[in-house]
């Protein structure tokens, strides 16, 4: 379906260069929500970027934000996916036509987004393919319709930096995630921060206001065994570590530690990320 | 005159008796003709046999000699008919005083050099086993491979250095002493293991997984960055595998004998095979075949370990051919003249990097690959193969400073001690599957056997269900967890599977990729 001129949602009307018309699929009222955050980043997302997204997207959803991005593989897709997984709604702005077929791997996500009352937008002809020039134009829409921009990862000459440039022109607040100086996909973000074009995004961004901390009363579904308690205490004192380190530190056979960790995992006391075990 | 000399043809791992009939006739143009569907090597026999006879100081009959290799419709191949043909010619030409009966109860099998010496032959063990089966009392083979035959009881093995020696023996002038029978004792491998478990620093979980794999025959994959020690762990595996039982020893030796891989003077293979083919190995190399179908790597790994280092580097189509042997424990190779079946029941061990650059999830290095390339890389290992792997283990890049945690001596285990535990666990399994033909390990259990041999009490079943839901286990993964738990319980000496065994088994599920 397409909309033209005055019928565009107000957020989109304000974007300059003006949008003459666009095609949409899904819940168009999503474009008028009060809290929209644009999350952009490199197509070559690293594990670090993935980890960052898995931390911040749930929090943003909980804060009531609708997310918007470009539905490109890498950071975009991952953040769309996490939004849906956490019960949120998301908007995808395509750098190609609304009817252009998408990669089979993304079909599932595409359907789920629409199921959850999401929205897809495109300024191009329905079957048009993406080219080098369609993406900067799309970026202006992504940035134009949001309240703030978060850049997760960006290479030094990347599309994400183009989005940051739009944000600067449109006076939108930009946050960038600082990253390892060894990582090619953090070079752009680090540069934005160093130049003052973006504020560094840290986790205390989310600590304020409406993010309600759940009651910290730990109720165990059953009494922990001696061995389980010892393991938890060890993790609390020593911090996250690998299974091998735990076995060495606790001086127990690794098989027994494995079994304990399974039980604790099922109880929700611990979790594992990148091979490191930590308290929940 | 017509002489009959008995010999042997090897077809795959089986042997068939071949009768070498030699006729030396006064009438007709002098020359040697060989019939019986022989291949080129047999055609060339003529030259070798003639020279071997002459160089042994015997005159070669200038007559019309006809040799028939019966049965006439069985294609014959190889050079091992040289010896029976030579003996046949000498007997049939009556140039020596040899009692024709002397050849009746014997097999002659071997290749001749121009000087009359006997060369190393393939398949000697099979020939000896056929001799035993058919009540043939003697077998004459080259001294270089006679030891292979010496393990067969009830057959006199005569090691022959050269044709001249054999002729003196047959005349009764100077007798060859038959070999003493070699007993089939399961002797442990004499030499030092390539890598001892105690040499591997850290890697507690991976070591534990290898021990479980060795005990229960479970297939295993190690995933981790380069340099983490995956290859070292693989090299340490043979040191904890139990030695072959006598029957198993014979099975493996047969395969190696047919492949021509027996060492000169080698008798019996007692150590479990460990094959590590390079990832450029062809399909034929892996599965077997060729014009003269030889066993492939999967058969050379029979009753041992097949290690695929860097599994995603193997071509997809080559990996696909692993499915049949992993399912059936054997491979069938079809050629124009029929089907040959080779056993291929092995434990699969594989290693892989987590992504093309190898540094995914590395604590200090960043992976540069990008999600798409990672997904593509993972797809190189086909689902069905991964499905048949029971133990999936992540191998930590060992950080030297973390290893400084003082470890008490009691924690470092050497291969010798580990092997004893593995053998005990195997003994339990042998007992468990006594009634089931061909089943020796927990890994071989199908769903039916799992239900039968691994009953779970209600609270254990409950625990397993919770875990299955939390970790989203497929039905196949569910049964794998039980099988692995059964091995863990065996290692712990526990007749029943307890929650702690299931809890550990769950950690080896497929989640490292």
Write out the E strands in A109-236: 119-122, 148-151, 174-176, 199-200
Residue B180 lies in a domain: no
At residue B260, the pLDDT reads 83
Chain A stretch 95-124, residues whose beta carbon is closer than 8 A to a beta carbon of chain B: 105
Q: Quick one: how many helices (H) and strands (E) in chain B?
A: 19, 18
Domain tally for chain B? 3
Instruction: Tell which of A143, A172, A205 closes a domain.
Output: A205
**Residue tagged 């003006």 (tokens):** A18
Contact A243 B205 (CB under 8 A): yes
Question: Which of the residues B203, B233, B366, B418 would you substitute to probe the A interface, choosing the one with the greatest number of A C-beta atoms within 10 Å?
Answer: B366
Query: Which neighbouring-strand residues pair with A40?
Result: A151
Q: What mean pLDDT value characterizes chain B?
A: 87
In a shared domain, residues B148 and B291: no
Residue with more model confidence, A117 or A216? A117
Torsion B213-B214-B220-B226 (CA) sign: positive
Residue B35 lies in a domain: yes
**pLDDT interval class at B193 (50, 70, 90):** low
In a shared domain, residues B390 and B471: no
Tokens encoding B293 = 């179908």
Chain B stretch 64-83, residues whose beta carbon is closer than 8 A to a beta carbon of chain A: none
Any A CB within 8 A of B439 CB: no
Tokens encoding B420 = 């004893």
First to last CA, chain A: 46
Q: Indicate which CATH number applies to the domain containing B131.
A: 3.30.230.10
Any A CB within 8 A of B503 CB: yes
Nearest CA in chain A to B502: A259
* Whether the Cβ atoms of residue B283 and residue B249 lie closer than 8 Å to each other: no
Any A CB within 8 A of B168 CB: no
Residue A214 lies in a domain: no
In a shared domain, residues B57 and B115: yes
Contact B408 A251 (CB under 8 A): yes
Asked if the bond preceding A224 is cis, omega within 30° of 0, the reply is no
* Whether the Cβ atoms of residue A136 and residue A122 lie closer than 8 Å to each other: no
Contacts of B494 in chain A (CB under 8 A): none
Instruction: Tell which of B413, B438, B463 closes a domain.
Output: B438
pLDDT digits over B41-53, tens only? 999 999 999 999 9
CB atoms within 10 A of CB A152: 32
Instruction: Tell which of A170, A205, A240 closes a domain.
Output: A205
Any A CB within 8 A of B171 CB: no
Distance CA B72, CA B17 (A): 12
In a shared domain, residues A56 and A129: yes
In a shared domain, residues B213 and B355: yes
Contact B394 A275 (CB under 8 A): yes
pLDDT digits over B431-484, tens only? 999 888 778 899 989 889 999 999 999 999 999 999 998 888 888 899 999 999
Distance CA B296, CA B342 (A): 9
Any B CB within 8 A of A254 CB: yes
Nearest CA in chain A to B201: A244
Any B CB within 8 A of A236 CB: no
CB atoms within 10 A of CB B405: 12
In a shared domain, residues A255 and A180: no
In a shared domain, residues A130 and A267: no
Residue with more model confidence, A279 or B494? B494
Q: Indicate which CATH number applies to the domain containing B388.
A: 3.40.50.300
Nearest CA in chain A to B404: A248
- State residue A66 phi and psi, 5-degree precision: -95, 135
Contact B370 A43 (CB under 8 A): yes
Question: Which of the residues A47, A152, A277 would you substitute to probe the B interface, choosing the one with the greatest number of B C-beta atoms within 10 Å?
Answer: A47
Contact B367 A183 (CB under 8 A): no
In a shared domain, residues A132 and A254: no
Q: Which of B382, B424, B219, B399 is nearest to A241 (CA)?
A: B399
At residue B337, the pLDDT reads 65
In a shared domain, residues B10 and B31: yes
Look at residue B60 and tell me whether its pLDDT is greater than 60: yes
In a shared domain, residues A24 and A151: yes
Torsion B166-B169-B174-B179 (CA) sign: positive
Tokens encoding B426 = 């195997």
Q: Which parts of A21-72 fold into alpha helices (H)?
A: 47-62
Instruction: Tell which of B423, B438, B453 closes a domain.
Output: B438
Any B CB within 8 A of A194 CB: no
CA B484 to chain A, closest CA, distance in angstroms equals 12
Helix (H) / strand (E) element for B119: namely strand B118-119
In a shared domain, residues A170 and A232: no
Radius of gyration of chain A from its Cα atoms, rounded to whole angstroms: 22
Helix (H) / strand (E) element for A4: namely strand A2-4
In a shared domain, residues B386 and B510: no
In a shared domain, residues A106 and A139: yes
Which domain covers residue B300, as residue numbers?
Answer: 197-438
Contacts of A183 in chain B (CB under 8 A): 366
Nearest CA in chain B to A258: B504
In a shared domain, residues B103 and B246: no
Distance CA A88, CA B37 (A): 77
CA B380 to chain A, closest CA, distance in angstroms equals 16
Distance CA B510, CA B513 (A): 7
Residue A221 lies in a domain: no
Number of Cβ pairs < 8 A linking chain A and chain B: 88
Domain tally for chain A? 2
The helix/strand/coil state of B5 is strand
Of chain B, the percentage scoring pLDDT greater than 70 comes to 94
Look at residue B338 and tell me whether its pLDDT is greater than 50: yes
Look at residue B336 and tell me whether its pLDDT is greater than 50: yes
* Whether the Cβ atoms of residue B361 and residue B373 lie closer than 8 Å to each other: no
The residues, any chain, with a CB within 8 Å of residue B198's CB and separated by 6 or more, are B412, B413, B414, B415
**pLDDT interval class at B184 (50, 70, 90):** low
**Would you put residue B318 in left (φ > 0), alpha (ψ -120 to 50) or beta?**
alpha
Distance CA B215, CA B64 (A): 63
CA A143 to chain B, closest CA, distance in angstroms equals 24
In a shared domain, residues A130 and A238: no
Distance CA A14, CA A19 (A): 9
In a shared domain, residues B222 and B301: yes
* Whether the Cβ atoms of residue B403 and residue B202 lie closer than 8 Å to each other: yes
Radius of gyration of chain B from its Cα atoms, rounded to whole angstroms: 28
In a shared domain, residues A164 and A262: no
The helix/strand/coil state of B350 is strand
Distance CA B460, CA B467 (A): 11
Residue A186 lies in a domain: yes
The helix/strand/coil state of B10 is strand
Contact B207 A275 (CB under 8 A): no
Residue B178 lies in a domain: no
Distance CA A47, CA B355 (A): 12
pLDDT digits over A37-50, tens only? 999 999 888 888 99
In a shared domain, residues A15 and A143: yes
In a shared domain, residues B246 and B320: yes
pLDDT digits over B399-415, tens only? 655 565 555 555 678 88
Chain A stretch 118-177, residues whose beta carbon is closer than 8 A to a beta carbon of chain B: none
The residues, any chain, with a CB within 8 Å of residue A198's CB and separated by 6 or more, are A151, A164, A174, A175, A176, A189, A192
Which domain covers residue A22, as residue numbers?
Answer: 2-205
Any A CB within 8 A of B412 CB: no
Residue A92 lies in a domain: yes
In a shared domain, residues A17 and A148: yes
Residue A211 lies in a domain: no
- Out of A46, A256, A263, the one facing B367 most closely (by C-beta) is A46
In a shared domain, residues B235 and B364: yes
Q: Quick one: how many helices (H) and strands (E) in chain A?
A: 10, 11
Residue A59 lies in a domain: yes
Half-sphere exposure of residue A100: CA atoms within 13 angstroms, side-chain side: 20
Can you give the length of chain A in residues? 280
Residue B149 lies in a domain: yes
Q: Indicate which CATH number applies to the domain containing A267.
A: 1.10.10.10
CA B308 to chain A, closest CA, distance in angstroms equals 24
Cα B354 to chain centroid distance, Å, stands at 30
Distance CA B172, CA B177 (A): 12
**Residue tagged 């569907």 (tokens):** B37
At residue B213, the pLDDT reads 96
- Out of A251, A255, A274, the one facing B504 most closely (by C-beta) is A255
At residue A212, the pLDDT reads 45
In a shared domain, residues B128 and B268: no
**pLDDT interval class at A141 (50, 70, 90):** very high
* Whether the Cβ atoms of residue B65 and residue B176 lie closer than 8 Å to each other: no
The residues, any chain, with a CB within 8 Å of residue B217's CB and separated by 6 or more, are B347, B440, B441, B442, B443, B444
Instruction: Tell which of A156, A173, A205 closes a domain.
Output: A205
Write out the E strands in B403-504: none
* Whether the Cβ atoms of residue A102 and residue A110 lie closer than 8 Å to each other: yes
**pLDDT interval class at B420 (50, 70, 90):** very high
The residues, any chain, with a CB within 8 Å of residue A194's CB and separated by 6 or more, are none
Residue A215 lies in a domain: no
Residue B185 lies in a domain: no
Instruction: Tell which of B124, B154, B171 closes a domain.
Output: B171
Average pLDDT in the B320-339 region?
Answer: 84
Chain B stretch 207-246, residues whose beta carbon is closer than 8 A to a beta carbon of chain A: 207-208
In a shared domain, residues B494 and B410: no
Can you give the length of chain B in residues? 513
- Give, in order, the Cα–Cα distances in Å from A102 to each of A127, A138, B12, B379: 11, 17, 53, 20
In a shared domain, residues A100 and A178: yes
Chain B stretch 390-409, residues whose beta carbon is closer than 8 A to a beta carbon of chain A: 394, 396, 402, 405, 407-408
Look at residue B261 and tell me whether its pLDDT is greater than 90: no
Contact B371 A254 (CB under 8 A): no
Average pLDDT in the B189-206 region?
Answer: 76
Question: What SS3 string covers B130-172?
Answer: HHHHCCCCEEEEECCCHHHHCCCCCCEEEEECEHHHHHHHHHC
At residue A208, the pLDDT reads 53
């Amino acid at each position: 379906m397409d909309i033209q001129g005055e019928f565009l949602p107000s957020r989109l009307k304000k974007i300059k260069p003006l949008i003459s018309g666009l095609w949409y699929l899904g819940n168009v009222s999503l474009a008028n929500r009060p809290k929209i955050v644009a999350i952009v980043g490199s197509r070559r997302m690293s594990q670090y970027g993935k980890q960052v997204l898995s931390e911040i997207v749930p929090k943003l959803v909980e804060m009531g934000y609708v997310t918007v991005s470009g539905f490109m593989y890498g950071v975009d897709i991952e953040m769309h996916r996490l939004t849906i997984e956490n019960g949120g709604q998301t908007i995808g702005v395509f750098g190609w036509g609304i009817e252009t077929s998408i990669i089979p791997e993304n079909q599932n996500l595409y359907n789920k987004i629409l199921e959850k009352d999401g929205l897809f937008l495109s300024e191009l002809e329905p079957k048009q393919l993406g080219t080098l020039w369609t993406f900067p134009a799309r970026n202006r829409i992504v940035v134009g319709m949001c309240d703030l921009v978060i850049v997760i990862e960006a290479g030094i000459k990347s599309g994400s930096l183009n989005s940051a440039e739009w944000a600067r022109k449109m006076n939108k607040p930009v946050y960038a995630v600082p990253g390892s100086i060894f990582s090619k996909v953090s070079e752009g973000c680090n540069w934005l921060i160093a130049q003052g074009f973006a504020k560094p995004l840290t986790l205390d961004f989310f600590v304020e206001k409406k993010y309600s901390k759940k009651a910290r009363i730990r109720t165990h579904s059953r009494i922990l065994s001696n061995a389980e308690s010892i393991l938890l205490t060890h993790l609390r004192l020593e911090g996250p570590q690998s299974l091998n380190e735990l076995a060495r530190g606790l001086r127990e056979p690794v098989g027994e530690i494995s079994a304990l960790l399974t039980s604790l995992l099922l109880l929700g006391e611990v979790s594992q990320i990148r091979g490191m075990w930590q308290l929940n | 005159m017509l002489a009959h000399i008995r010999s042997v043809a090897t077809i795959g791992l089986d042997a068939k008796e071949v009768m070498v009939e030699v006729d030396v006739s006064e009438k007709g143009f002098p020359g040697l003709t060989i019939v019986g569907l022989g291949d080129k090597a047999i055609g060339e026999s003529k030259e070798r046999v003639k020279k071997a006879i002459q160089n042994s100081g015997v005159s070669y009959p200038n007559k019309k000699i006809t040799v028939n290799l019966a049965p006439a419709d069985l294609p014959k191949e190889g050079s091992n008919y040289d010896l029976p043909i030579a003996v046949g010619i000498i007997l049939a030409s009556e140039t020596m005083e040899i009692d024709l009966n002397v050849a009746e109860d014997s097999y002659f099998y071997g290749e001749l050099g121009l000087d009359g010496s006997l060369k190393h032959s393939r398949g000697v063990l099979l020939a000896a086993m056929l001799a035993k089966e058919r009540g043939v009392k003697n077998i004459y083979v080259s001294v270089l491979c006679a030891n292979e035959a010496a393990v067969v009881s009830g057959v006199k093995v005569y090691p022959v250095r050269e044709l001249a020696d054999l002729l003196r023996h047959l005349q009764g002038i100077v007798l060859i002493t038959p070999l003493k029978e070699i007993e089939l004792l399961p002797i442990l491998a004499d030499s030092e293991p390539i890598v001892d478990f105690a040499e591997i620093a850290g890697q507690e979980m991976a070591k534990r997984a290898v021990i479980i794999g060795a005990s229960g025959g479970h297939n295993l994959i190690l995933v981790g960055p380069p340099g983490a020690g995956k290859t070292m762990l693989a090299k340490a595996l043979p040191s904890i595998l139990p030695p072959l039982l006598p029957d198993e020893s014979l099975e493996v030796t047969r395969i190696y004998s047919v492949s021509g891989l027996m060492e000169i003077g080698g008798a019996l293979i007692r150590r479990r095979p460990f094959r590590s083919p390079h990832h450029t190995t062809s399909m034929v190399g892996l599965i077997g075949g060729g014009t003269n179908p030889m066993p492939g790597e999967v058969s050379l790994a029979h009753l041992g370990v097949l290690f695929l280092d860097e599994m995603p580097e193997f071509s997809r189509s080559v990996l696909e051919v692993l499915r049949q042997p992993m399912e059936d424990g054997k491979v069938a190779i079809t050629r124009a003249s029929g089907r040959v079946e080779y056993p291929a029941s092995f434990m699969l061990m594989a290693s892989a990097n987590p992504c093309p650059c190898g540094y995914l999830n590395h604590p200090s290095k960043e992976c540069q690959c990008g999600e798409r390339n990672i997904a593509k890389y993972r797809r190189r290992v086909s689902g069905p193969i991964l499905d048949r792997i029971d133990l999936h283990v992540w191998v930590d890049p060992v950080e030297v400073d973390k290893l400084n945690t003082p470890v008490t001596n009691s924690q470092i285990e050497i291969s010798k001690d580990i092997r004893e535990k593995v053998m005990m666990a195997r003994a339990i399994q042998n007992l468990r599957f006594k009634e089931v033909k061909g089943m020796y390990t927990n890994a071989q259990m199908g769903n039916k056997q799992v239900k039968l041999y691994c009953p779970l009490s209600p609270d254990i079943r409950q625990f397993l269900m919770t875990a299955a839901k939390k970790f989203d286990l497929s039905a196949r993964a569910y049964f794998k967890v039980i099988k692995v738990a059964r091995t863990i319980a065996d290692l712990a000496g526990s007749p029943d599977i307890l929650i702690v065994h299931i809890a550990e088994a769950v950690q080896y599920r497929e989640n490292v990729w």
